[in-house]
Structure formats: C-alpha cells, structure tokens
Structure 1
Amino acid sequence: MSQPPHPFRIHNFRAYWVSRLCMTLAQYGMLLIIGWQTYNIARDSGLSVAASSGQLALIGLLQFLPLFILTPFSGLAADMFNRRTVARLTVALQMACAALLAWLTWSDQITHTGLFGVAILLGIARAFAGPALSALAPNLVPKASLPQAIALSSIAWQTGMIAGPAMGGYFYAWVPALPYAASFGLFAISLAALTTIGDVPRSVTQAARRPIGQILDGLQYVVRNKMVLGAITLDLFAVFLAGATALFPVYARDILEVGEQGLAQLAMAPAIGAVITAAFFSFFPIRTRVGPKMLVAVAVFGVATIIFGMSTYMPLSLVMLFIVGAADMFSVYIRQSLIQLHTPDDKRGRVSSVSMMTISASNEFGDFFSGTLAYFIGPVLAVVLGGAGAIITVAVWSQLFPVLRTTRTFDPPEEFLDSDQERLSSGEKR
C-alpha cells in the first residue's frame, strides 16, 4: 500500500496552513493591544485600577456574546454556503478592523467607543471563521493524510498564539500603530492564500446537516453521560473562575510595572507552557490514572494562578504563568481524549460542538467575569479568589462525578465498545 501524500505536498492545504498561521498571528497580536489600549485609556483618564479593570470586562463580554449567540448560525452558514467564501469574508472583515484601529491609533483618535465597536466585529468574524475553517480542512487532503494535517494545523495555531502577542507588545513599544498595521498585512496574506485554494470536494450530507439540531442532540448526550459531562464542566468552571489573562494589562502597567514588552511576555508564558506540554505528550502519552491526574492538573492550575495573582516579581510571575499553561494543556489533553473515546462515533461531532461552546464560555465570558470581579474587589484579590475557585471546583467535582476519580485509562467500558461496534457494523449513518 502506497504512503499517503504529506499534506504540505498538496497546494490547497499549504495555502490553508499559511492562511491560518497568518490569521492567528494577526488575531492574537490585535487582541492583546486592544486590551492594553482599553486599560490605558481608562487609567489615563483618571479612573482607578479597579474601574479600569471593569473596562476590560466589557471587552471580554463584547467578544463573548457574538461567539456564543452566533455559533449555531455560523455552523449552518459553513454547511450551507461555500466555506472558502465564508472564510474569505471573515478575514476581510478582520482586515478592515485592523486598518481602522491602525488609523485611529496613528492619528491619536483611539477611544473606548472605537475599541468596543471593533471588539464586537472581531467577535462576529471569529464566530463565522471557526466553523468555516474547521469544516474546510478535511476537504483539502485525502482521508489518510488527515491526522498529519490536523497536527500541522495545530502547530500553526499554537505558533500564532505564542508569536502574535510578542509581535503586538514589542511592535507597540516601538510605534503604537504598528501592531495593527502588521495585523493588516498578515490578514492580507491570509486572504490571498485562501483565494488560491481551488475547488474542493463537498458531500451532500455536509450541506444538508442541521448544526442547531446537532448541538441539541449532543447536549442531550452530554447530560446523560457522567464522564463526558464531568470532564466538560470541570474545565468550564475552572477556567471561567481562574481566567487571569484578561487582567494582564493591569499587571503589566500597575502591579509588575513592566510595560508593553512585559505585557507580551506575560501573554507568551502560558502559551509556551502549553506547547511544550503538548509536544511532550506527543512522545510520552499518558496511559494510567488519567482521571485523578486530570483533577490534579486542574488543582495545580489553580495554585499557580493564586501565586501569580500575589506575585510582584516578574520572573516568578512568568514561571507561574508557564505552569498555568502547562497544567491547562495537561488537563485539556486528558479531557479531550476522554470525551472522544467515551462518545459514540455517530455523536462525536455534536458533542464536540457542545465542547467548543463551553470553551468559548470559559474563555471569553471568563474574561468578563475576571474584569468585573476586579472592578469590585481589585485585580489581585480577583485573581487569587479565581485560583481558589478552581481548586474548590476540583474538590466539588470529584464528589459530584466520582467517575473522574476512578477512571484509570482512556479505554471506555466494554459494553460501550460493544454498542458502538454494533452501530458501525449495522451501517448506521453518521
């Protein structure tokens, strides 16, 4: 049997990979500076640290609402319309946002109104870009090459998540409008790469799918399966409570006093921890005591968040954020593996949709929660209490979902395997 072609030997995938890398670099570079400018405008206008943190809460909320509300409709658009066209339109919208922010910053006309408006537009663009690009990827390579393609796509995303904030922070320290100008150029490259993708195969079943119904069906299964429900909600509440990333501008300016370059380092530290952990697991996968290890990882995530919240020493803060990222990836690795292997083949897509919505809730809405809490009790106490909340979540979830404590391997129960095999052998469509 001949070896499947490497994804990079296929032009459509190469173009897709370049597009995703450039788009991720631009997105994360922009989002960091939007938060930084939002906080600085508030502080420079005389608002207190707590009140300025409240402005960061609004940025998180304005990005969360479009993502959460539009997810079913954006999935429907990805299945009903040409995915390349949908993806191109979202990149073009983000490109326009970058151009607007570059001009407003260059002309010294940047305001909260402009930043909040762009945050909403970026939330809309990201809501439609995610399903379109995710659904497009499997159409670009042969089925046998898909695992490699998924790994390469993850590398593009992780690289952009690390290098994007660094680009934004260091460029802003040089020329404030430069991060947005660079993002504009990266979005332009992303759009050009997408334009070179030729016609791709598309099945009738893909076009006929009903994402809203799939999400509801997946939600019903999640509620019934205690393993899947426990794993998804553990991450949801832990990250929601202990989301310190929204408060990086507060720490960079007023607590650690490290400026724009320090802001970039704060944003990079957890991403580097996550990448190194993921690379480690690619060579040395976990095989035993997976449930207890996931609970411990979330607890470590909470402890590191508490220490970061109390730290006023930059090296210690960076180490704790590195641990935060590593512990988060540790738990994500176990959680995703458990969800995939404990979900029947015919429901994996729908359960994944539910998981994606909870990730959006824990990240973007978690930013809103952290900023709001900082407004009322101050940023340091907000971060510390958030980390404590993650630890409490572990204790509570280990009692509510004892299956998380007793799961030793990734292997699902034998009766699950038997029923899943029956569905596959009977030719049930999925």
Structure 2
Amino acid sequence: MSETSGEAPQVLRHRPFVLFWTSRVLSTLCMQMLAVAVGWQLYALTGRALDLGLVGLVQFIPVLVLTLPAGWLADRGDRRLVVACCQGSVAVLAALLAVGTLRGWLGREAMFLLIGLIGCARAVEAPNMASLLPGLVPRALFPRAAAWSASATQTAQILGPALGGLLYALGPQAAYGTAAMLLLVGGAAAFAIRPPRRAPGAERPGFAGLLEGFGFVLRHRLVLGAISLDLFAVLLGGAVALMPIFARDILGTGPAGLGMLRAAPAVGALATSVWLANRPLRAPVGPRMFAALGAFGLATVVFALSGNLALSCLALAVVGAADVVSVVVRSSLVQLRTPDEMRGRVSAVNSLFVGASNQLGDFRAGSVAALLGAVPAAVLGGIGTLLVAALFMRLFPELRRLERLEG
C-alpha cells in the first residue's frame, strides 16, 4: 500500500478525531433534518417565499453578534465542553419544536423565535468546533483530516435531508424529536474528546483581543482571499432556501423530493471529499479552486432551468462537488497558517464569513424570488458566482497562483 493511500485510515485511528467526526456528523445531520422540516412546515403554513429567506436572516443575526465572542471563548476555555453544551441546547430547542407542533402553538412567530435561538447555539459552536480539529491529529495529516472532516459534513448532508423528509411524512414532530435525541449523542461524543493540553504559558487573550482575528486575516492575503471568495460566491450563488419552492411548485414533488434535493449537493461533495482525503489537491491549488468555482456557478444555472427532478439532483451534486474543493482549501489555509493561540478567533472570523454567505445568501435568494420568482433568482445567483470568480482572480493574484496548501 502506498503512503498516500495509507494516511487517510491513519487519521481515523486517532480516537479524539473519531469522536470529533462523530459529533460533527450528528450535529450536521440534525441541522439538515431540522432545515427540511422547518422549511416545509413554514412554507406550508404561510406560502411566502420571503419567509424562507427570513429563516436565513434570523439565523444570521446571532452569527453576527455572537461569533467573535465565541472565538475569543475558544481561545480561553474548554472547546469541547462548549461544543457539547451548544449541541445539548439545540436538542432542547428541537424538542420544543416537536412539542409546539403536537400542542398546536407552533405558529410563524414561534418558529422564528426557536430558529433564532438555534442560530445562537450554532454561532457559538462553530468556531469552537473548527478550532478543535488541528490539535487532534499530527500537523502533517491535517489536510487529510480536513477532507475527512468535510466528508463528515457531507455524509450528514446526504442522510439528514433524506431522513428529515421521510420522518416529516410521519409528522414534523417525528423529525424534530429524532433530531433532539441524536444531538444529545453528538454532544456526549464531543464531551468525551480529550485534546492535548495547551502548551505551558500559552496566551489566554483578554477581552481586548476580541477583534485580533480580523487583524490576522487582514494581514494574510491568502486567508483573506480564500474566505472572502467563499463569502461572495455562496452569498450570490446559494439556492438552498428556494428548494421548497422548486420541490413543490416547479418539480411537483413532496417532502421526500425536497429531501432528495437537499441531499444531492452532499452526494457530490462526499464523493469529492473522500477523494481528497486519499488524494489531496496537487499543485497548482489556486487554478483548481477557481475552476471548481466556475463549475459551481454553471451547475447552479442548470439547476435553476431544469424541470426534471433527476437533472436537478445531478446539477446540485455538481454544485456540492465543486463547493467542497473551496471548503478544503479555505479550512486548510485558515488552520495551517494560524498559530494555536489565535485559532479560535481566526476560526470565528471564518465562521462569520461562512454564516454570512449561507444565511444572508438564503435571505438574498428568498428576497429576489419574492420579487422575480424562484427561477430568475437562482439563475442570477449562478451568474453572480461566475462574475465573483473572475473578479477575485484579478483582486487576489496570489490566490490564483497558489501552489500548495502548506505554508
């Protein structure tokens, strides 16, 4: 067996990494289940495309307010304990969604309140989860660990929407209740992680260091270019919020079909992340990343114009495969080029950018769909991604010329 093919299983022999992987899988799985159930239930309740966009906005506000303090906390406290508490909190909120559905008090306003509280827990969890990973495996294995970590997310994004759609057929409370139970298991796995102790004398930042993550990112143009590229590409090109509209009104399918659409990007992303875990990106990394971003934009346009469920799923699989290339490049640059004592705060900046791209992207898609319709909103998003790729190739030539992920 070659060294390359043997190193990916070697990552999986590190018990702390396996626990991390388990916690991340279950957390993402449950969030995908909740997204399908909330999206379908809310659209059935109101029939308004704008409400689907507001789901993203309600989740972004906590990201904007809490992510930087969460990164500061990650550099001072017990990261795995914070992750466990956050997942436990989301479990309680998912249980409240189930109870509210059963008791009949879960209306539009109550759903937005609970979604916002879930967003608070997720905003705190994200930088703590991200900054845990580098200490769980040797530095030389980190690019493969990042790819396996991405595969955890993609596995969950395949199973979560499908499971959420199937459980929704039994009632929204079935999806919410199952998510609550699985989140408790994920929190327990996070709590069981025993990462290496901090080095003696390692910096514990004071509150004045809250914004130092921004300073670090601004001083390192490769990191700035990678995370801002992802921000604008997904902000303009994301069409996830519109999937209930495409499923019900354009493709003529039900919750199970929505689950297929939500899972399709993760199918392509999982295949790509497993490939990258065994065969990491080779030089030149930059041109490969921009090529993948172009594929992301074109596949989004194909999805928007498709009237066939199979073709739509195929286009979304290409979207997911292209996106994971950017995810691996961004996460590797952020983690490998950041000292451990800064990792929580820099991860918080990265999480803030990711949250802005995902949640504000949902709001952008829902708002444009309310004005122009779902199909034009998705087409314009795909074209916007292509324009962003072209612009960033000029603004960040060092990113375009990037040869290797390691510094």
TM over 0.5: yes
Partner of 1:239: 234
Partner of 2:101: 105
Q: Does 1:165 align with 2:169?
A: no
**TM-superposition CA deviations, 1:250-279 (whole Å, max 9, x none):** 111111111100111101111111111122
Q: Verify the 8 A CA contact 2:289 2:326 in the aligned structure 1.
A: yes
Secondary structure at 2:197 match in 1: coil
> Equivalents in 2 of 1:147, 1:303: separation in Å?
27
Structure with bigger gyration radius: 1
Q: Verify the 8 A CA contact 1:237 1:393 in the aligned structure 2.
A: yes
**TM-superposition CA deviations, 1:174-201 (whole Å, max 9, x none):** 3332101111211232344455567973
Partner of 2:271: 276
Q: Does 1:397 align with 2:401?
A: no
Residues 38-187 of structure 1 correspond to what in structure 2 (within 5 A)?
A: 38-43=42-47, 52-136=48-132, 153-187=149-183
- What is the CA-CA distance between 1:361 and the residue it aligns to? 1.2
Q: Residue 301 of structure 1 is aligned with which of 292, 296, 305?
A: 296
Normalization by structure 2: what TM-score? Answer: 0.85
Residues 314-333 of structure 1 correspond to what in structure 2 (within 5 A)?
A: 314-333=309-328
Secondary structure at 2:105 match in 1: coil
Change (3 A) 1:189 1:54: same
Q: Does 1:32 align with 2:52?
A: no
- What is the CA-CA distance between 1:211 and the residue it aligns to? 7.8
Q: Verify the 8 A CA contact 1:299 1:390 in the aligned structure 2.
A: yes
Change (3 A) 1:139 1:369: same
Secondary structure at 1:364 match in 2: helix
- Sequence identity, in percent? 40
> Equivalents in 1 of 2:31, 2:120: separation in Å?
13
Partner of 1:409: 403
> Equivalents in 2 of 1:399, 1:123: separation in Å?
35
> Equivalents in 2 of 1:279, 1:73: separation in Å?
33
Secondary structure at 2:404 match in 1: coil
Secondary structure at 2:172 match in 1: coil
- What is the CA-CA distance between 1:69 and the residue it aligns to? 1.4
**TM-superposition CA deviations, 1:114-161 (whole Å, max 9, x none):** 210111110111112223334455666788987776665444333222
**TM-superposition CA deviations, 1:328-377 (whole Å, max 9, x none):** 12333344455667x47689735544333211211111111111111121
What amino acid sits opposite 2:356 in the alignment? A
Q: Residue 255 of structure 2 is aligned with which of 238, 257, 260?
A: 260
Secondary structure at 1:302 match in 2: helix
- What is the CA-CA distance between 1:229 and the residue it aligns to? 3.3
* Greater RCO, CA 8 A, separation 6+: 2
- What is the CA-CA distance between 1:42 and the residue it aligns to? 1.0
Q: Residue 292 of structure 1 is aligned with which of 287, 290, 300?
A: 287
> Equivalents in 2 of 1:409, 1:138: separation in Å?
22
Q: Which runs of 5+ in 1 are unaligned?
A: 44-51, 418-430
Aligned-pair RMSD on alpha carbons? 3.3
- What is the CA-CA distance between 1:103 and the residue it aligns to? 1.4
What amino acid sits opposite 2:33 in the alignment? G
What amino acid sits opposite 2:276 in the alignment? F
Partner of 2:3: none
Normalization by structure 1: what TM-score? Answer: 0.81
Partner of 1:48: none
> Equivalents in 2 of 1:29, 1:9: separation in Å?
29
Between 1:69-78 and 1:286-295, the stretch displaced more is 286-295
> Equivalents in 1 of 2:250, 2:80: separation in Å?
44
> Equivalents in 2 of 1:403, 1:142: separation in Å?
27
Between 1:137-146 and 1:62-71, the stretch displaced more is 137-146
What amino acid sits opposite 1:22 in the alignment? L
Residues 8-19 of structure 1 correspond to what in structure 2 (within 5 A)?
A: 15-19=19-23
Aligned length: 399
What amino acid sits opposite 2:298 in the alignment? V
> Equivalents in 2 of 1:346, 1:87: separation in Å?
18
Q: Verify the 8 A CA contact 2:147 2:274 in the aligned structure 1.
A: no
Q: Does 1:386 align with 2:381?
A: yes
> Equivalents in 2 of 1:296, 1:148: separation in Å?
21
Q: Verify the 8 A CA contact 1:75 1:211 in the aligned structure 2.
A: no
Change (3 A) 1:205 1:155: farther
Secondary structure at 2:169 match in 1: helix
Q: Does 1:22 align with 2:23?
A: no
> Equivalents in 1 of 2:83, 2:27: separation in Å?
11
> Equivalents in 2 of 1:116, 1:322: separation in Å?
30
